Amino acid sequence: MTKSVETGWNLDNSYTRLPESFFTKITPNPVSSPKLITFNEPLATSLGFSVELLKSEDGAAVFAGNDIPEGAEPLAQAYAGHQFGHLNMLGDGRAMLIGEQITPDGGRFDIQLKGSGRTPYSRGGDGRAALGPMLREHIISEAMYALGIPTTRSLAVVTTGESIIRETELPGAILTRVAASHLRVGTFQFAAGKGSTDELRALADYTIKRHFPYIEDNENRYLSLLQEVIKRQAELIAKWQMVGFIHGVMNTDNMTISGETIDYGPCAFMNEYDPATVFSSIDREGRYAFGNQPGIGGWNLARFAESLLPLLHDEQEEAVKLAQNEISVYPNLFKKNWLTGMRAKLGIFNEEQEDESLIDDLLSMMQNHKADYTNTFRALTLGLPEDTVMSGSEEFQKWHQLWQERLNRQQDSKDSSHQLMRDSNPAVIPRNHRVEEALKAAEKQGDFSVMDRLLKVLASPYDYTAEQADFCRPPEPSNLPYRTYCGT
Ligand code: AMP
Ligand code: MG
């Protein structure tokens, strides 16, 4: 017990106070020999942990689920979800929430082990995860954090000392995920599906208290809840579009209520700009293609609204009207966020009617010329339009002239406009080939130095330093499309 307190554990388990259908308490499944592979020291410190104590063997045992810290009440959460449009009963099939860490400044964060063994929601799965995908989540979620995009985070990855069977035998691993919460649209779908308005209300009240306490006294707080979630998702997805992030599996169980990005399975960043870009091997129809993400966000929010109907109004018809009204706000709200973000990428502070066509024209040229998304904005930020693949085209030169005139029309100085661009256009993103290279070295040679170097570069994406130049290059052309996998 003393050891737990010294380490900085300060757990509460508010989730266990929800109606019991929402979770199942779990007895951990110990693994043979836990070994700490990566540990996020700044995150550990911000959560109130002693870095030294957690880095020791004791920490590895906790991150593997072999040792449960004082105050933990491990559980698996129940949830449902539309997977590629089809509603299924899901739940944590390979994850265990060990509790909510209360930080020194009063924050509350879920501490969840992912890959920690079977649960009552595992269906056919083994409850385990492989090292490669867990390191991938570590790299990409930390890169997203550094990019300023709301996200779950990765505190640690441990190997278990056990092999897991996929297409081949792979080293097993567990990732410790930190999240504002793991409440999902699918959690509400699960509650709605059970048909008990009392349980649904308990979940909604819990959510409001945890994430939106400022709406607690609103006249119709459940309608406010819907508005808040719509607002956060519109902001989040606009931010994804700004950096070319493709989530890959925007099922409703992978959409948080807090507005954090969650579930880094098949996600990847786009190189050449093309709204039709899809990386996930199972997304054959392109449902979750880059350009479809905003629309899918709206579809998912409509599912959220449906699940809230019994709380919105006593009369079903009125409830539907209220929900539809809010859902119809989303496209414009998204668009507003998107335009603000794109203006910033072009160094524009104020609004003009023609901005949208200025942006659209650039994007369509980028698509026609197969221009790299990140590097085009990087070149514009650096004042090197000649570095873009479009520079030889008259169309681009004309566009560039119009853009310069647009910048001259605003009151703000050239310097502040340049600074805005630097703050809005990352010089580096986790390029797929760089991520793969780091994972290969880690998996095949047990060499983690490639990953560490990548993590270091990705930690300051807006720095525009000389050392980053190497990481800005897109991959060499290949005949094979890049493919990602989920549930691995
Ligand atoms: P995901 O595609 O990661 O969002 O997962 C969808 C569902 O499958 C969730 O309920 C997961 O908990 C479950 N799942 C994924 N991988 C496994 C596994 N290896 N064992 C058991 N359940 C899994
Ligand atoms: Mg998931």
Q: Are residues 172 and 242 in the same domain?
A: no
Element (H, E) at 86: strand 86-89
- Which residue is closest in CA terms to ligand 1's atom 1? 487
Ligand 1: centre distance to CA 390 (Å): 43
Catalytic residue among 253, 274, 283, 372: 253
pTM of the predicted protein model: 0.98
CB-CB contact of 291 with 248 (8 Å): no
Asked whether residue 465 falls in the same domain as residue 476, the answer is no
Q: CA 60: distance to chain centroid?
A: 25
Write the burial class of residue 291 (CB in 10 Å: 0-12 exposed, 13-18 middle, 19+ buried).
middle
Q: Which of 133, 156, 179 is the last residue of a domain?
A: 179
Asked if residue 485 and residue 467 are part of one domain, the reply reads no
Residues 238 and 387 in one domain: yes
Please give all residues whose beta carbon lies within 6 A of any atom in ligand 1, as ranges.
Answer: 90-94, 122, 125-128, 249, 253-254, 263, 265, 486-487
Strands (E), 180-322: 245-246, 268-269
Record the tokens describing residue 7, joined without a space. Answer: 């380490």
260 and 219, same domain (yes or no): yes
Q: What are the angstrom distances between the C-alpha of 182 and each of 34, 188, 458? A: 25, 12, 25
Distance 381 CA to ligand 1 centre (A): 41
Burial class (CB in 10 A: 0-12, 13-18, 19+), 218: middle
Q: In angstroms, rounded to a whole number, what is the distance separating the alpha carbons of residues 428 and 206?
A: 39
Task: Tell me which ligand sits closest to the C-alpha of residue 91.
Answer: 1
Distance from C-alpha of 118 to C-alpha of 127, rounded to nearest angstrom: 4
Q: How far apart are CA 472 and CA 460, in angstroms?
A: 13
Q: How many structural domains does the chain have?
A: 3
Q: Are 163 and 190 part of one and the same domain?
A: no
Angstrom distance (rounded) from CA 333 to CA 238: 10
**First CA to last CA distance, the chain:** 36
Pair 312, 263 in one domain? yes
Cα of 248 from ligand 2 centre, angstroms: 11
**Distance, C-alpha 210 to centroid of its chain:** 19
Q: Which atom of ligand 1 is nearest to the CA of 92?
A: 12
Residue 157 shares a structural domain with residue 263 = no
Assess contact for 53 and 7: CB atoms under 8 A: yes
Residues flanking ion ligand 2, Cβ below 5 Å: 254, 263
**Of 77, 82, 122, 252, best ligand 1 pocket probe by most atoms within 8 Å of the beta carbon:** 122
Residues 146 and 194 in one domain: no
List the domain range (segments joined by +) for residue 454.
432-471
Rounded alpha-carbon distances, angstroms, from residue 67 to 84, 98, 116, 192, 407: 37, 11, 12, 35, 58
Same structural domain, 465 and 482: no
The reply to whether 253 belongs to the active site is: yes
Question: For residue 130, which of 158, 154, 92, 90 has the smallest C-alpha distance?
Answer: 158
Same domain, 441 and 408: no
- pLDDT one digit per residue (tens) for the chain, 488 residues: 456 889 999 999 999 999 999 999 999 999 999 999 999 999 999 999 999 999 987 899 999 999 999 999 999 999 999 999 999 999 999 999 999 999 999 999 999 999 999 999 999 999 999 999 999 999 999 999 999 999 999 999 999 999 999 999 999 999 999 999 999 999 999 999 999 999 999 999 999 999 999 999 999 999 999 999 999 999 999 999 999 999 999 999 999 999 999 999 999 999 999 999 999 999 999 999 999 999 999 999 999 999 999 999 999 999 999 999 999 999 999 999 999 999 999 999 999 999 999 999 999 999 999 999 999 999 999 999 999 999 999 999 999 999 999 999 999 999 999 999 999 999 999 999 999 999 999 999 999 999 999 999 999 999 999 989 999 999 988 877 899 987 65
Same domain, 383 and 456: no
Q: How far apart are CA 303 and CA 397, in angstroms?
A: 45
